[in-house]
Structure 1
């Protein structure tokens, strides 16, 4: 990941929360691995943008990064002079190696390799803090975060899938019905193992819903466009239309117009107050070829039935 999450999103540090969200979604959609197979550069941009968004979308995390308290990965940054000050502490065994004259503890007599080896050893073992002080050995494991690309229909109707974790183990994830883009799932106890008798951390799965060319989601409603022929628009009839659970027949009323919206109750996605609807926008499509018979018929019909669809209707 680039060291600057703002650069990963193509933004400056004064970007608003809304600008951060829009920039992330634009990059994620354009560089999604499912849409760019065998393109490692696009995958890298997708991952960088995801990590940057995860850091900056949280106001407190963003404040801490801007203040230099954490780095681009969310890891704590040691305050300036931290290691030097710790080395001077009387209870630090390495502080005894400093000159009695009060000179620089990092100068003559200070073994830097020994000092930082001890720092890393204690940090990893869980048997003490960074400088050998006593600390409980039983600690919970760290939480883990993953991103999961989810097909639109799987998010709409629910599904089960598996993701492969960095250690090679597979983790089964249940996608709830009506899942939204950017939604985070929490799997308790599926994070990093704990220290000693400490419990494992949790796994957080951020969902990236892949757009579908046939369906759009607006709230809990599904929106589709339905092409109909001229005769279907004039005469009406039953016409098949796709829904998220399969094709159904919809009744096109006689005299239908392009842009007219039909509503299929309960054919949307599951929300907090039940299922939404599916809105079907009609679009009249002319025949691919206008033959002489149709042309002559329309010319004859227009002579006696001409009308102006652009004329404003009179209000009573």
Structure 2
């Protein structure tokens, strides 16, 4: 893969908002499901965004420590020179994995970890009985996926495109929360020397909703009502995660009054029990108060003055 900045068409000084905007614009244009889509181009776009949207990966790439094609760390530029000039080099000091500053993801760390564990780079371990082949474990591939609020709460079966361009069919269980990890067996990257594929492990981030929020199995919403609906009561439509329902507002309701819609919360996938939805009423005055309302209030307050802060004992 080429330079991620070049792929997204942004400058190296671009901020997170610019990077995200560039990714969305290109993703909409080249998504494989579209008629004008381009799977290879989309794969490069998502790979570039995966690096530049992660501050840690971005910093490593900017320092030349991250390979954009594999997403793996590179050995530092002074790797061998720095060690050969160190006090340990050439003095018969037994080197260790830590001497080389490697991480578990690069070829050097793999080699020296094997050496420390009595296993050579060819995958053989030394034993008294002789050499025995050490089976390599097929690694999982980790992904991150953003899921709309309603899809995460109700659950859905959908076809998604992962960050490397891989398209998979997956089931998102009802009640899925941010941080949930879903495993797709055999859907990871191909391990070429084994001819096998690992699992895809997908970590979910649930997107915020415009007006719903969630706590456990319960859904919460602030509901604006008019002054006359609060005073006289009314039957109004209220949004739920299942669609709109009719809710009766009692007379003399106030801002902060909470009503409950039983069984309109999040379903629990294991036992199918439902949470509730809680509606917090918020009285909203009209954006522009006309002269008629002003005159009414002036007349009304002369005989109906009250102090809503009386219980606070403010003097």
Tell me whether the two structures share a fold, i.e. TM-score over 0.5. Answer: yes
* Contact 2:147–2:207 (Cα < 8 Å) also in 1: yes
Distance 1:68 1:77 in 2: 8
> 67-76 vs 277-286, which deviates more?
67-76
Map Cα deviations across residues 15-64 of structure 1 (whole Å, 9 max, x no partner): xxxxxxxxxxxxx9x89958972498875343456999xxxxxxxxxxxx
List alignment gaps of at least 5 residues for structure 2.
1-15, 27-44, 60-96
Partner of 1:22: none
Partner of 1:230: 227
Mapped pair 1:295 → 2:312: no
Cα pair distance change 1:144/1:36, threshold 3 Å: closer
Q: CA deviation at 1:190?
A: 2.4
1:1-316 counterparts in 2 under 5 A?
Answer: 33=20, 37-38=24-25, 44-48=51-55, 71=103, 73=105, 77=109, 119=121, 122=122, 128-129=123-124, 135-136=132-133, 141-164=138-161, 169-193=166-190, 200-271=197-268, 274-312=273-311
* Contact 1:138–1:198 (Cα < 8 Å) also in 2: no
Distance 1:51 1:67 in 2: 26
Q: CA deviation at 1:297?
A: 1.5
Distance 2:192 2:163 in 1: 19
Map Cα deviations across residues 179-235 of structure 1 (whole Å, 9 max, x no partner): 101100012232345789997432211111111122111222111111100000000
With normalisation by structure 2, the TM-score equals: 0.60
RMSD over equivalenced CA pairs, Å: 4.5
List alignment gaps of at least 5 residues for structure 1.
1-27, 53-64, 93-118, 123-127
Cα pair distance change 1:155/1:167, threshold 3 Å: closer
With normalisation by structure 1, the TM-score equals: 0.60
Q: Which runs of 4+ in 1 moved over 4 A?
A: 30-36, 38-43, 48-52, 65-70, 72-76, 78-83, 133-140, 165-169, 192-200
Distance 1:31 1:129 in 2: 49
Cα pair distance change 1:147/1:31, threshold 3 Å: farther
* Contact 1:266–1:277 (Cα < 8 Å) also in 2: yes
SS in 2 for 1:234: helix
Q: CA deviation at 1:75?
A: 7.9
**Number of residue pairs matched by the alignment:** 236
